Structure 1
Amino acid sequence: MIIREFKRPDIKRVLEIETSCFNDPYPPSILIDIYNLGAGFLVAQQDNMVVGYIIFWIRYEDEGHIISLAVDKKYRRKNIGSQLVDYAIDIFNKCNVREIKLEVRVGNRGAREFYKESGFEEKKILKNYYEDGEDAVMMRKALKLNFTNKPKD
C-alpha cells in the first residue's frame, strides 16, 4: 500500500468511498474547495486504486483537525485507516501541533472505538452537530512537542 498526496483525478474514487461510508457525504465542490484551501489530503492506494483517504488541517497555530477519514468497506480491518491517521500525526508533529481534534457521530461506535485505539479521548458532546440533528462526540489527542523542528530565535 502507498500513502500519497491527493491528486484531482482521485476525486471520482474519493467520492465513491465518501458516498458509501457516510449518510451525509461532502459534495465534490466542498472536497475540492478544502483541497484548494491547503488542507492536508492524503489517499491510500493499493493495486493502483484509491482505497481510503484522510483530510486534515491546522486550524490554529498549534491545533490540528481531522476533517474526514474513510476507507472502502472492502479494505477495512487491514490497518489502512490507522496508517492514514499515523501519517497525518507525523505531519502534525513536524508542524509542532500540540493537539488534534475531530468530531464523530455519537452513533458511530466503530469510529469512536477506532479513534480511542489511536489515542484519542472523548471530550464532550456537541448537540445537533450534523444536518440530520444527530449529536457528535468531540475527540482530542494531545501530541508531544517536537523541539527538533522548532524554529530558533
Structure 2
Amino acid sequence: MIIREFRPKDLFRVYEIQELSIPNPYNMDILRKLFDFGAGFLVAQVKENVVGYIIFWIVEENRGHIISLAVDPDYKRQKVGSRLINTAIATFLKFDIFRITLEVNAENKEALDFYQSIGFKINKKVSNYYEDGADAYKMSFNFFDGY
C-alpha cells in the first residue's frame, strides 16, 4: 500500500468510497472544489486501486482540521485509515500545527473508536449537525497531550 497525493483521475473512486462508507457523502462538485481550493488530499492505493482517502486543511495558524476520511469496506481493518491519518498528522507537524479537530457522526461507533484509539477526545456533542438531522461529536487531538 502506498499513500500518495490525490490526482483528479481519482475523483470518481473517492466518491465511490464515500458512497460505500459515509451516510451523507460530499457530492463530486464539493470534492473537486476541496481539491481546487488547496485542501490536503491523500489517497491510499493498493496495486492500481484507490482504497481510501483523507481530506484535511489548516484552519488557523495552529489548528488543522480533518474534513473527511473513508476506507473502502473491503479494506477495513488493514491499517488503511491509520496510515492515512498518520500521514496527515506528519504533514500538520511540518507546518507547526499542534491541534487537530474533526466532526464525526455520533452514531458511528467504529469511527469514534478509531479516532479515540489515536488519541482524539470528544469535546462536545452537536445536535442536528448533519443534513439528515444526525448528531455529531466535535473531537480534537492536541500534540502536547502526547503523540
Q: Which TM-score applies when normalising by structure 2?
A: 0.96
User: What is the aligned length?
Assistant: 144
- Consecutive aligned runs of 4 or more in structure 1 exceeding 3 Å deviation: none
Q: Secondary structure at the match of 1:65?
A: strand
Q: CA deviation at 1:12?
A: 1.1
* Secondary structure of the corresponding residue to residue 111 of structure 1: helix
> Do the aligned residues in 2 keep the contact of 1:93 with 1:143 (CA within 8 Å)?
no
Deviations 1:86-139 (A, max 9, x none): 000000011001200000011000000000011101110111100011110001
Alignment of 1:125-136 (within 5 A): 125-136=125-136
| CA distance in structure 2 between the aligned counterparts of 1:87 and 1:57, rounded to whole angstroms | 13
Shift of 1:57: 0.2
Q: Which residue of 1 aligns with 2:98?
A: 98
Match of 1:90, SS state, is helix
The 1-side partners of 2:93 and 2:143 are apart by 7
- 1:2 paired residue number: 2
Are 1:59 and 2:59 matched, yes or no?
A: yes
How far off its partner does 1:14 sit?
0.5
Q: Deviations over 1:19-65 (max 9, x none)?
A: 11112110000001011110000000001110000000000111000
- SS of corresponding position for 1:116: helix
**Could you say which residue in structure 2 is the equivalent of 1:116?**
116
Q: Please tell me the residue identity of whatever aligns with 1:105.
A: N
Tell me how far 1:17 sits from its aligned partner. 0.3
- Please name the residue that 1:148 is paired with: none
Larger Rg: 1
Residues 1:14 and 2:9 aligned together: no
SS at match of 1:53: strand
Structure 2 residue identity aligned to 1:14: V
Consecutive unaligned residues of structure 1, counting only runs of 5 or more, are 145-153
Long gaps (5+) in structure 2: none
For 1:92 and 1:34, locate their aligned partners in 2 and report how far apart those are by CA, in whole Å.
Answer: 17
- One-letter code of the match for 2:118? S
Does the residue aligned with 1:25 lie in a helix, a strand or coil? coil
SS at structure 2 position matched to 1:88: helix
How many angstroms does 1:77 deviate by? 0.1
Q: CA RMSD in A?
A: 0.7
How far is the alpha carbon of 1:143 from its aligned partner? 1.7
Determine the C-alpha separation between the residues in 2 that align with 1:128 and 1:45. Answer: 34
| CA distance, structure 1, for counterparts of residue 108 and residue 124 of structure 2 | 15
Structure 2 residue 83 is the aligned partner of structure 1 residue 83: yes
**Match runs of 1:18-29 below 5 Å:** 18-29=18-29
Query: Which shows bigger deviation, 135-144 or 85-94?
Result: 135-144
